[in-house]
Structure 1
Amino acid sequence: MRIHFLLSLLVALSVLIEQGEVSGNVSDPQTVQCHERSMLDASVVRVYHGEVGRLGCPVSHHLSAYNYSLIWYRVQPDQGLEKPINVSLPNPRITADHKWLWFQPAFSEDAGQYVCVVRNGTHDHRTTLQLEVLLRANNGCVSQAAEGSCVVKVPLEESAELNCPDLQEFQLSPKSTPVKVKWSNKNCSNFSPKKWVSIVNKDSKIVIHIMRQNMEGNYTCVVEYHSGGKTLSFTRVVTLKAKSSSRLPKTPIIHNPNLDQIFTVKLGSEGRLECRALVFDEDLKPQLWWEVNGKTLQQLSDSRFTNITSYKEDELGDRTMMSVLLIQKFSSQDLHFNYTCHAHNTKGSASRTAKLQPEEYLPSVELGCGLGVVLVVTLVLFVVYHVYHLELLLLYRAYCGPDESATDRKEYDVYISYARNSEEETFVLLTLRRVLENELGYKVFIFDRDSLPGGTITDETLSYVGRSRRLMVVLSPNYLVQGTQALLELKAGLDAMAQAGDLRVILVQYQPISRDSWVRELRRARVALALIQWKGEKSSDLSSRFWKQLQVELPVRRRKNTLSEDSPALPMTTYTHTYPQ
């Protein structure tokens, strides 16, 4: 709950305690009137059927200084012609009185356009007015008046009296005497006759003993009087609203900028300084503005300085105003100015000076460019590595790779295992052996060529496999035949690789092999080892991917003529037979 409502409630309770009764009979309640409604300036006038209504002809101050005459005309609905209204008949229903054209009462056929002409001999002033006649069911209470409701604001926990609007004005009509005023509450029911209610109907007035928010709403008054032997009436609606107590101090309160707030401005950009203040209700004529070095924006005469002012009201009609000072192309010189927000109403004034600091410079452009360069370089390096990673590995091995021959004391670089008496034997002897020995400079061991006669095949195989740094297995369907020497070589190499770790196995796929026909040892090796595929003529060139992958798996051999893109292709006569993939 709002703090000023609590204060109002405490004030009201203290008044009740002093009076010693719950009713809160407040002496001398203040009489409040509707907010000003100028019927003379209304171009459209609405009245209920069977009630009194009037049209007002506005007369300018210039014409009222001279003798003038006023004539009323009615515009014929069908013909569009203006017909003078005869107001000199005995006991007419439509009469003219000074600036007013009276309808006592108004009927549905009176609806339409009317013209008043003001003449002073030299000038004619014409005004067109519209009369609307509304129907009301059973002449009952209405929540909205034909003329529109007038608004009355009463402070919380205070007393007031409400009169029916236009009561005094209608007493001025010819030979009219008010006789009765009947009020209906916001629920269109009669007021309770009880004495101890907060709001009662007394002497044709509404008496509010203690104003509360639940009393807000539209209240209807029906006035009846006699004129010309007839009983006439008119209906008005009063909208009752609560506002904050007048007993509270209502000097403006500036919420923003507060004492600890610092506005951050960016040099060269638009500066925004926001001032927000509680200035209370409209009746106090609140104002909110900025001053720069003690001058208002009008006095400053600098087009760079502008402001936007807005406000919002709470449920009690108190206003919170906001003024935003805009400074175009904020400069370092503007930092030395004093920016003061002022709030003022009829109860007092308040002011607050804003504190400013420049925004720290962030090299966003430089950071963005640097980040962009890093991303581009990273992308380029990723692409280069993805395309040339084999070349990069070979280059690294050529200069930084360890020379295994200096420490392992092994005799051979590569032991080639293959299926004997088959097509792959030609591939091994004429292609693999020649490139490895002649082009790359490796020492190759081929059992049928290099083994000594007279020994046991099993012992000799295990011995030579152990004396080699790499076991190159040339895979083909013939290689998988159980009981061949090739499988013995494969098992020996895998055991040496698993136990001592000084031998690595290289798998070269010469021909495609169905995975279902793989032996157990080969499945175990395939999980841990890469498979290099021979693709016939595509792999015959020394710069092909096959030879680069193979060289990465072989021991480091530092030679001046390292494998490169300019290496010559293998002669096509070396290996011309291709196999289906």
Structure 2
Amino acid sequence: ISFVFPLFLANINISLNDTNINTKTGEMVVLRCPQKHDSDTTILWTNQTRQGMDVTSILSTQSAVLSQMDMLLHGHILVILSASLSHQGNYSCSARNASRRFWFSLIVYEPQSREYEERNRYSTTCYTQESCTLYCPTANIPAHDTPNITGRGITWHKEGETVSTPHDFPSAVERDGGIYKCIRSFLYDGQIYNMSFSVMLEIQKSKYGKSEIISPHQNDVFHIDLGEFLSVIECKAVAYSDYDVVFWLSENSFVDTDESLPVFYNYSSTKYIDEVNMTASLVFKDVSEEDLLKKYTCKLESDHQQSSFITISLAEKPQPSHVTLTVCSVCVVVSMVVIVVVYVKFKIDANMGEVNNGFFVFLDGRSYDAFLMCYKSITDGGLSEVDRKCLASTLENEFGYSICLYDRDVLPGQAVADAVLDCIEKSRAVVLVPSFPDPEPGSAVLSAIHSSLVERKTRLIFINTEQTEASTSGSFPEALQLLSKAGNSVTWKGRPPSTSFWKQLRYHLPAPQQTPKIPNTHPL
């Protein structure tokens, strides 16, 4: 609300851009003059009430008039201890003899005014599974050095609740959202005065998954021989932010990464799409009795959620009896004989089938981990050529699978059905990929080979899309219907594929025969 004020002092330039301040009856109000001044400068305050539009000059001195009005002056601030409708109006401040004056328009509302609540509501946003703290606004509160006014703390209430409410959440959930009211209390002359603020908390879904320590578990005990050389305990964690990190603590001290120390740790991490697998390895060069007395803590420090801890301890291995030693010795001899027999057998098998048509053959006689074979999608929701290349590239380059592709690994001139059966023979699994349009060899060959797939009990993974998933099974050709019943199904939901898609696909695939090509990264 703006007012036009009379020029009641000829030598003062009045600014019509006043500051609006809203409050409720019974609450404390602080007007802070922005005029630059020092301790020797006298600030002149005036007020112009709505009732009589009177202009009253208030010098910067405490007076009986101010006390009657429940007002205090301290330097450049004017405090109204308990606002009432009689305080409503326009206020100005200026340094004595200054050419500029600052104006405030004070509006006083009834306690239950909906307009006041809407005008004086602050907003903040938190995210699920992340730590969240609400802060009470500091707008127009008394300065900490205001004489005789002492802060008495802050209380929080959620709208609709009468009991006090916490203002911090270690891991926010959707039900924490809503409107909160914080009340700042101040003590003056033996009486409590309040200032209240409303804060609207919005809870949004976190863009991160929940980072957590996978192993070890809380209070695990690791049995170690005294004097054992290079004993290692690994702490493994899964994170969803590049800024998350895992490390070791000994009692309340950080374990160093200096490998020249008797006890140290080293760190490694591998990133798959949006998931980071981290390992912090606690290394004991020579386990001592002092090490057995300590507790060690693996800590996951996160930038988007509360940190987590896993504490473990060490214990000396029990000494075996003579009978146990004898039994163990016999077991070791028997195990060595079995190992030698198995090694000789597999060495012969490997030498007989190590190379087949120029391709490396694994111990089970297969050249590939999986054969990616396309089938025609009954809708236009199949994988495009770009999607199929993304699928093959990710499996090969990020997860270490050896993939057979018809257009790349089949020698020209072979009959299509024979070439496909040859690829199946060389692969440990077959992944059926919906495609649009239908590429070579495509769905045409499925009818000819589906009986062979079923008879061989070939491991089948059937990829579908949300469109094909919604269609009826009767819409598929008979060969596809039989194959879909014999295999496992994974849903592609568009590119880039989700983390859950890769987890499900890798769950159904056999373990790759080679390690992924992505190197470990180390923190600086």
* Pairwise same-fold verdict (TM > 0.5): no
Higher strand residue share = 2
TM-score (structure 2 length as normaliser): 0.32
TM-score (structure 1 length as normaliser): 0.29
Greater Rg over alpha carbons, structure: 1
